[in-house]
Structure 1
Amino acid sequence: MSRSRLDSLGEFPFRRLAGLLADKVPSPAGPVLDLGIGEPQHAVPPILAENVARHAASWNRYPPPTGTPSFRRTVARWLARRNALSETVLDPDRHVLPVAGTKEALYLAAQLAVDRAGRSRPAVLMPTPFYAVYYGAASMAGAEPVLLPASAASGFLPDLDAIGPEVLARTAAFYLCSPANPQGAVADRAYLAKAIGLARRHGFALFLDECYSELWDKEPPPGGLDVAHHDTGSLDQVLVFQSLSKRSNAAGLRSGFVAGDPALVQAFAKLRAYAAATQPIPLMEAAEALWNDEAHVEENRRLYRQKFDVAEQRLSGRFGFFRPAAGFFLWLDVGDGVAATARLWTEAGLKVLPGAYLDGPAPISAPYVRLALVHDLGTIADALDRFVATLAPDDRPAGRS
């Protein structure tokens, strides 16, 4: 009996992690600290709850599948500000579609692209390591996930020149995450323009996952719509995915949007009408308030910079440490990520994620672990001290116990 597409998928990374640690007892030396999952722990902006309460009378209304006109206008204006676009470039009714968090949108996107492409042996490109939803989405859409190594040698982004013509000829979609999860690498304007050019020449959809774009260190990363409009002259073949989960510490709100090529947005709206949840109006009102406020985002960036300062002090010169350009992850070379994960759990009470769990069947990230710097500064400092004491006990700076 042949295996189903679902059966052919491996376990989701966090289920694999749970299995790895299931029979292991965490160290009792201190509180267990979870650095494995990228769940923001900064304070939720008060305007979220305030706006949900203010619009409580709307809980009895079915939310419109394409969102409220006000939400779409708010997103279009935010995109115009963020991408230095004239407000006339983006039509809220043609270029913007709300989604119930980008996880489901990224998953459905592969179904949309593979169906529209109509290619035999369709391929869906993605970096490796990757957000597991890309791989699952491609597989369940009946496409071949084609993994493009994003290693230190290529600046932690896929080498676009290494994609063969045979693969490009059957590509239906390309998932590209910038800033990258887990490495925090940022695609510059030239890189994005090249990716857009490939999408148009070969007729595939470019899905730009920009969910970490607002958590930058020194300067804001270029946006896909900025490059598409200013550097290539149109939004054709490009969809950008954005969320409030990381930007606004609102993962539980399940609010995001897709924006870009109006033909893709229209097709996506049709698909979602059959297959996806719509966001309740009180939550959409709260999301509007968050997109209209930048003060809490600036505070987020300040807090993450402080934690990267501490990480740089503790880890500089060890474990291949580099300070990422954006995001909130550390990507550390510990030799054997799975073994180090088990050891950190049993000896230090730290939960991290093995890099190999973010790869496909042929992992290139086995030496790495991913740490999410989502907790408060004191907790992160404690965690990093435990990390070093466990994996490099004889390599601590002088004067630090």
Structure 2
Amino acid sequence: MSDPRPDSGTALDGLIRSPFARLNALLEETPPGAEPLNFSLGEPHTVLPPFVQPVLEEHLPAFGKYPPIRGIPALRQAISGWMARRYPALEGTVDPETHVLPLNGSREGLFSAIFPARARKSHVADPVVLIPNPFYQVYAAAAAVAGTEPVFLPSGPQSGFLPDLGAIDEAILGRTVALYLCSPSNPEGAVASRDYLTRAIALAHRHDFLLFADECYSEIYCDAAPPGALDVAHERTGSLANVLSFQSLSKRSGLPGLRSGFIAGDPAFIEAYFRFRNVACPQVPVPIQHVSAAAWADEAHVEAGRAFYRANFEAADSILQGRYGYAQPPGGFFLWLNMADFGGGEAAAKTLWKGCGVKVLPGTYLTKPQSRQANPGLDFIRLALVHDEETTREGLARIVATLG
């Protein structure tokens, strides 16, 4: 394994710089060749769930109160109830008092949780955080500011677009504070199987690190519902120890502006994290908590969202027809397309913007080169199928017409 440590402050800045800032810089001198269509940002354009406005209006006066950091009981109960419905093996297991904390979206939690995770292994002199590559930039930002060493795990097609758990050095595992694992993965849409999650949980137990399961795309799928880390942990070990699930209403409910999510799992960590959050993290406003409770209690709008994405993937099937290495992913709403024949991801992003006004994200902005030669995102672009079907069809048709 190559040396994962950034060799300078500039290299570290490159790891945690916003990919969208990099994209804007790439395209700023290039005018779009047609009316712009933004496929770079994973911001759902689904219909606003009908309950949002009335619930919010009902609880508007609560904006005048400080919110409880643990969350209102109704929200924690709604989360616990949703988990029992979504993962039947967890029925009666997830205690809303000890296993759940609300978050200001999953990103806030994925970042701030690293600090109590590092504290629980304060005896480790050279702590490590394991990160899939490609990766969500907040993982690297968390590792950097917590004073840990980010170790990037190749997650290419040869390992099913998930880290090869068997290839991680034992010495590194012994220094590990946390393993970030996204399933369905961003950007590839790969889903960790129950056996894969079992292996990840076993490693976390054996080396006493935390499995941070980023499951914010878990409700976006075309066929089978992805398994959950807590579900597998309880089924295989009878415990939630060392396992934390991060969830969000941004993707599941199409409410990215709500900034609402949760963490659930290992009760010892949840208690330590509560103490940390109580002095260092933002609360979720009480009216937003009530809207969130309504969202976790309702599945109709979630199924409508899945139908929205199914239509977009059917459009991709018919228009792309296997071009650029396309295959419908098991989960999520991204396409991870190979642009090796068009000069790589950055060149293709400029070509598409200049040629047809479609904005896509170069894959290299989501990856860390493993060596001078090996960059798992260099040849790829990421497209977010978050628009309505008509817009999706237009954007994909423009891409095919431009690239051929």
* Same fold (TM > 0.5): yes
Residue 57 of structure 1 deviates from its aligned partner by: 2.1
> Are residues 1:387 and 2:399 paired?
yes
> Are residues 1:299 and 2:304 paired?
yes
> Are residues 1:20 and 2:32 paired?
no
- Aligned match of 2:108 in 100, 104, 122? 104
**Rounded Cα–Cα distance in structure 2 between residues aligned with 1:235 and 1:80:** 14
Deviates more, 1:4-13 or 1:181-190: 4-13
What residue number does 2:156 align with?
151
- Aligned match of 1:192 in 180, 197, 200? 197
- Aligned match of 1:78 in 82, 85, 110? 82
> Are residues 1:177 and 2:182 paired?
yes
Q: Is the 8 A contact 2:212 2:243 kept in 1?
A: yes
Letter in 1 for 2:53: A
Deviates more, 1:361-370 or 1:250-259: 361-370
CA displacement 1:209-239 (0-9 Å, x = unmatched): 0000001110100111110101222100000
Residue 3 of structure 1 deviates from its aligned partner by: 4.4
What residue number does 1:215 align with?
220
Q: How many equivalent pairs are there?
A: 389
> Are residues 1:133 and 2:145 paired?
no
What residue number does 1:395 align with?
none
**Rounded Cα–Cα distance in structure 1 between residues aligned with 2:47 and 2:16:** 34
Q: Which runs of 4+ in 1 moved over 6 A?
A: none
Q: Is the 8 A contact 2:252 2:302 kept in 1?
A: yes
**Rounded Cα–Cα distance in structure 2 between residues aligned with 1:367 and 1:3:** 26
- Report percent identity of matched pairs: 49
What residue number does 2:4 align with?
none
What residue number does 1:326 align with?
331
What residue number does 1:44 align with?
48
Stretches of structure 2 that go unaligned for 5 or more consecutive residues are 1-7
Residue 7 of structure 1 deviates from its aligned partner by: 4.9
Q: Is the 8 A contact 1:5 1:139 kept in 2?
A: no
Q: Is the 8 A contact 1:5 1:140 kept in 2?
A: no
What residue number does 1:265 align with?
270
> SS of 1:93's equivalent?
coil
- Aligned match of 1:34 in 32, 38, 42? 38
What residue number does 1:396 align with?
none
CA displacement 1:326-357 (0-9 Å, x = unmatched): 11000000110000001100111010000000
TM-score (norm 1): 0.95
What residue number does 2:353 align with?
345
**Rounded Cα–Cα distance in structure 1 between residues aligned with 2:107 and 2:76:** 19
Q: Is the 8 A contact 1:95 1:261 kept in 2?
A: yes
Residue 290 of structure 1 deviates from its aligned partner by: 0.6
* Change over 3 Å in CA distance of 1:371–1:7 after alignment to 2: closer
- Aligned match of 1:69 in 61, 68, 73? 73
What residue number does 1:142 align with?
147
> SS of 1:134's equivalent?
helix
Q: Quote the RMSD (CA, aligned, Å).
A: 1.4
CA displacement 1:280-311 (0-9 Å, x = unmatched): 11110001111111001101111111110110
Letter in 2 for 1:121: D
Deviates more, 1:5-14 or 1:370-379: 5-14
What residue number does 1:233 align with?
238
> SS of 2:179's equivalent?
strand
Letter in 2 for 1:358: L
TM-score (norm 2): 0.94
